[in-house]
Amino acid sequence: MTQKKKKIVLLILMANMFITMGGIGILIPVLPSYLEIFGVGGQVLGFLIASFAFAQFLLSPVAGDLSDRYGRKIFIIGGLFVYGVSQILFGLATHVWILFIARFLSGVGAAFIMPPIMAYVADITTVEERGKGMGMIGAAISLGFMIGPGLGGFLANVDLHFPFFLAGIIALIASLFSIIVLPNVPPQMKETKEVKRENIINQLVRSVKTPYFILLIVVFTFSFGISNFQSTLSMFLTHKFNYSPTDIAIVITVGGFAGVILQMFIIDNLFKRFGEMKVIYVNLIAAAISMVLMIYISGFFVILFVTTLFQIATVFIRPAVNTLISKFAGADQGFAAGMNNAYMSLGNMVGPALAGVLLEWNMASPFILGTVILLGCFVLAYSWTLKKAPHLLSSPTQ
């Protein structure tokens, strides 16, 4: 594949990832007000987010494995279609149980979009280009989280249902566009065709034996802490400071924008100068500090600053972990991407569900738990690196 074609494909993949994450982000500022229509609060919000992650956890490894066998394109297209339909269903819901079905289906769609996209990037990039490619996908993820909440917050002023309809329609259009424009990547692993299809439990057991297993644990723990913060933030700001969907959208959007700009222009240089592992260490600490500060601060601009710090830190962690896992995975990119998404989804499932329960008990408790989890993730990653991969502590430029 020529460099020009690579750039075009990466732009299409970035657009699809942006649409997926933007659709997720749209919900964040709108959900507290939207759930009031159904007479429910923080606990249901946490479990709604968890149901999305549960579907991803179940199906991400399947999507990654199947994309190794049959190519990436078909799963990206199918995922976008299911995702679009589920978003529209969420906007049409008249009962809480319909909300849960819609969110679960959204998770199914996302599971068949994200691992194949990450594996696709690995397919078309060299090892030297991998960090930049993953950084571009990471930027699309961050940009989606940035634009999504902002768009959702402002569109909610028109109608609380409208943001979900818009997200669904755009995903369906992206599905049709990908059918026409996105090239297919043939299966990369001939051996996998002869391997018996594994269920999620067997794949999790298999992941323990991979050289990047500890990185998957890092994915789980930092995803737990991040999703704990993100799922709590909108409800926390609504109840403690009486923020409107527009206020919440501004807080999330500014931080997301700062993260995207920094990621686009400096993430590749950071990887080359310090290595991915050091980037992970520093930003785990930054995320933990900003999370605990949320308990004590007040004032719109102070809250804006702290949440921006948190979002910048998380923007840097994701592509660093994704790049390391991809480098360790070798030819097994689909399986690695699927397990990466599965462990991320597991953290995204447990974090919000627990945060929703804790939030109704004590507003500060989700932030305390998230801080402990992020610091624990730092200790775990650093200990593993010292024992098993000390070369990751050396700067690539040395």
Half-sphere exposure of 213 (CA within 13 A, CB side): 10
- The per-residue pLDDT for 113 is 92
Predicted TM-score of the model (pTM): 0.70
Among the residues of 300-364, which ranges form H helices? 300-329, 333-361
- pLDDT bin (cut points 50, 70, 90) of residue 395 is low
Please name the residues in contact with 343: beta carbons below 8 A apart, sequence gap of 6 or more.
207, 216, 217, 219, 220, 223
Give the separation between CA 321 and CA 284, rounded to whole angstroms. Answer: 12
- Lowest mean pLDDT segment, chosen from 140-144, 183-187, 276-280, 325-329: 183-187
Work out the average pLDDT over 96-111: 93
- pLDDT bin (cut points 50, 70, 90) of residue 176 is very high
- The per-residue pLDDT for 226 is 74
Give the separation between CA 388 and CA 158, rounded to whole angstroms. Answer: 54
Work out the average pLDDT over 127-155: 76
- Lowest mean pLDDT segment, chosen from 72-76, 210-214, 229-233, 322-326: 229-233
pLDDT above 90: percentage of residues in the chain: 18
Task: Give whichever of 126-135, 203-212, 287-296 has the largest mean pLDDT.
Answer: 287-296
Q: State the first-to-last Cα distance of the chain, in angstroms, to the nearest integer.
A: 32
- The per-residue pLDDT for 193 is 43
pLDDT score of 105 more than 80: yes
Q: How far is CA 199 from CA 48, 350, 358, 372, in A?
A: 25, 21, 33, 32
Amino acid at 90: F
Give the separation between CA 230 and CA 316, rounded to whole angstroms. Answer: 16
pLDDT score of 149 more than 80: no
- pLDDT bin (cut points 50, 70, 90) of residue 207 is confident
Give the separation between CA 298 and CA 241, rounded to whole angstroms. Answer: 8
- pLDDT bin (cut points 50, 70, 90) of residue 190 is very low
- The per-residue pLDDT for 75 is 92
CA angle, corner 210, sides to 206 and 211, nearest 5? 170
Please name the residues in contact with 39: beta carbons below 8 A apart, sequence gap of 6 or more.
none
